[in-house]
Amino acid sequence: MNFTLFLIFLQMNTTNISFGSSLTTEDISQIGLDINLVYEKYIPERFIIPKVLKTILYIFGFPGNVLACILWLQKPMLHSSGCYLAALAVSDVVFLIMSLMYDLTLYWKVKILDFPTICQLFPCLYLSVQYLSPLLTLAFTVERFISIRFPFKRRIYCNIKRAVCVILTLVSISLGVAGIQIYFWHYDYDSEECVYKLELVYLSEKWTWITECVMFIFVPVLILFFNILLVVTMRNSSRRAQELYGPMPPKQRTATTKMLLVVSFVLIFTTIPVSIVYSLKEKFPAGDYSYSIDSISDDVTWRRHLNFILVQEVIYDIGLVHYACNFYLYLLIGKKFRLAIKKYFQKLSVMKLIDFKDRNSRSLRSSFTELRSFS
């Protein structure tokens, strides 16, 4: 499968070899100078690092996001910010599922994406959940800014009904922006592969450049801007309150705001470096393809390119952390969240105990009934 989306967040550069196998010079010479085979020979870490890091992300990300979604949708956690965070948890789960599908195809050679319909839908959905993450973060950052800066307008703009409307709007925008990917891909029934429409390469590159800049540079910068405004507003409000009433204990709303600030800053600091590396890739082009595979290591251009590709892979994999760590940030920072998860597991334990007692009582009644029938 040649699944290349020209997107740093997809990294769709695959080969037909097993990444776990060792390559010899003769093997590569017979196949030809393929860029992925060059990576396999000279920087095998490019394929080992994501296997390890992403496996860790899946182990912690799936249960964490599922629990986060459950807790944010239960009272007393169910409020406007809770709706955004629950939607973010669902989006992260969908991303992890699709990322796992991609990794199974690329690294483990499991045929999952080379099928009609899936071929077109996968890049659309995969990109849309990536767009949705910064958009949702921007939404709850703006919502929290309005709540702190304009407290008398909280009931108008910071309620569950409006939050649901905003979430549905952002989902529609994400799907609409990524929907064009369906047009860029098609399934080749002759080769039984999902292939890119070469006549649309120019349009795809331009569209990708625009959307990447907007979603992964402009939106994070906008989040950073509102975070700075929010921090300044909180400090000014706290200073005025102390001047009027003296030292006051921190309110729960302030604690929630700090937790949301940490979540948004994590997204900023994991997304922007990936975008910067993506913008620098033209500065580190591959060397001359006419070189033999053994002489590549002696070429300065090839060495710079290979070093850049390895650094890019590490930064990209680290940039995925925000899809798996939000639940653990809530646990670390949110006292109310820790109490909620404690009560949730206590409730589950009580329900299991009650269910166990009910089963025992039913079995005892049935046993007594059988004894009576025998007597």
Spatial separation of the C-alpha atoms in residues 197 and 201, rounded to whole Å: 7
Are the CB atoms for 8 and 278 separated by under 8 Å? yes
pLDDT for 134: 95
pTM of the prediction? 0.83
> By C-alpha distance, which of 132, 142, 134, 177 is closest to 163?
142
pLDDT for 66: 96
pLDDT for 310: 92
Are the CB atoms for 267 and 134 separated by under 8 Å? yes
Per-residue pLDDT tens, the chain, 375 aa: give them.
333 333 333 333 333 323 333 344 434 333 445 677 888 888 999 889 999 999 999 999 999 999 999 999 988 888 888 999 999 999 999 999 999 999 988 888 888 888 888 988 999 999 999 999 999 999 999 999 998 888 888 888 889 999 999 999 999 999 999 999 999 888 888 877 888 887 888 888 888 889 988 999 999 999 999 999 998 988 887 777 666 665 555 555 567 788 889 999 999 999 989 888 888 888 898 887 777 777 787 888 888 999 999 999 999 999 999 999 999 999 998 888 889 888 888 888 777 666 655 666 666 566 556 556 655
CB-based burial label for 364 (10 Å; 0-12, 13-18, 19+): exposed
pLDDT for 28: 38
Q: Hey, how many other C-beta atoms are within 10 angstroms of the C-beta on 23?
A: 16
CB-based burial label for 285 (10 Å; 0-12, 13-18, 19+): exposed
Please enumerate in sequence order all residues whose Cβ is within 8 A of that of 113, keeping only pairs 6 or more positions apart, or say none.
1, 3, 101, 102, 105, 119, 122, 194
